[in-house]
Amino acid sequence: MLFPILRAVAVALLLALPAAADTYSFQSRINGLYVGVDGAGVLSAQVGAADALVLEMVPLRGRQVAFRDPQSGRYLRAGVGQQTYLAVASPHIRGWETFEMIGSGSDIALRSVQNGLYVGTDGRAPRLRAAWASRGAGQEFRIMRRPGEAPQMEPQAPRQDLEFAGGWVLERLYEGGRRVALGDPALRQARLQIGRRGGVSGDSGCNAFDARILVGSARYVVEDLLITRRRCQGETGEVERLLTRALGDAAQFNLVGAGRMEIRDASGRLRARFFRG
């Protein structure tokens, strides 16, 4: 019961945002570099202004805020892994997605509401962590406001046949930019059938699923992913977990080489590769 209520609150907050919401980037005070995303999808203070991660700010209560990626619609989350890294990875706003913003003007610090620790870096390792009990230069950022852009087109059903329509067999899966070691038998049980106007049906090798592909502004969106609930074990279960997550995050369906298709997310990271079958 609690999850639907929280999800409804998050949706209501998004609907309250202006159509052309202002976005923000962050510059570390300890090294002068901007916060971007590294090859594993983790936030790191190591890029120039042109490559900075840009996020929408979602006001919550008092000084509490959340940050949303306008491209993927996902929220910034602390507490990723044992090192409490940060990544744009969450579909909802809960404790790990909520931050207390401390400071005035353009100089701020962020403290995780979930664990009460500051976000920052020691200046040697560039990755950001919610792991600091006190606030220093490594936990301070200059927040840079960027004017709102024109409203994005609402995702809609394709008006033309999709060039990647047809039947596909899963060949490889990726997580954090790296190929996941899974056996061919488990991978090749998973199949997709993509209709010319965006209808999707498939089988993970354990459960059947359906979805639909919509066309947004310069990206695709997979919606209404419905899946049966048979319990999956071993490599088959891991294939299902990674495949359904790849579909949920999909922004690009790219034809590559001879009879191959790749799914990439909004950050351009490769998530899955298929061959025709």
The DSSP string of 250-262 is EEEEEEETTTEEE
pLDDT value at 144 more than 90: no
Q: DSSP H helical segments within the chain, as ranges?
A: 2-16, 184-188, 234-249
In which band, very low, low, confident or very high, does the pLDDT at 17 lie, cut at 50, 70 and 90? Answer: very low
Residue 102: count of CB within 10 angstroms of its CB: 15
User: What pLDDT is stored for residue 71 in this prediction?
Assistant: 83
Q: How far apart are CA 46 and CA 38, in angstroms?
A: 9
- Give the residue with greater pLDDT, 1 vs 202: 202
User: What pLDDT is stored for residue 218 in this prediction?
Assistant: 67
Query: What are 214-272's pLDDT values in tens digits?
Result: 998 668 999 999 999 999 999 999 999 999 999 999 999 999 878 999 999 887 889 99
Q: How far apart are CA 239 and CA 182, in angstroms?
A: 8
Q: What is the mean pLDDT of the chain?
A: 88
Q: Where do we find the tokens 């490769």?
A: 270
Q: How far apart are CA 120 and CA 45, in angstroms?
A: 9
Cα-based distances in Å from 92 to 7, 184, 226: 6, 34, 18
pLDDT value at 6 more than 50: no
23-28 and 55-59: which strand pairing?
A: antiparallel
Q: How far apart are CA 94 and CA 96, in angstroms?
A: 6
DSSP state of 156: B
pLDDT value at 8 more than 50: no
Q: How far apart are CA 18 and CA 33, in angstroms?
A: 29
pLDDT value at 58 more than 50: yes
99-104 and 64-68: which strand pairing?
A: antiparallel
pLDDT value at 65 more than 50: yes
The whole model's pTM is what? 0.50
pLDDT value at 136 more than 80: yes
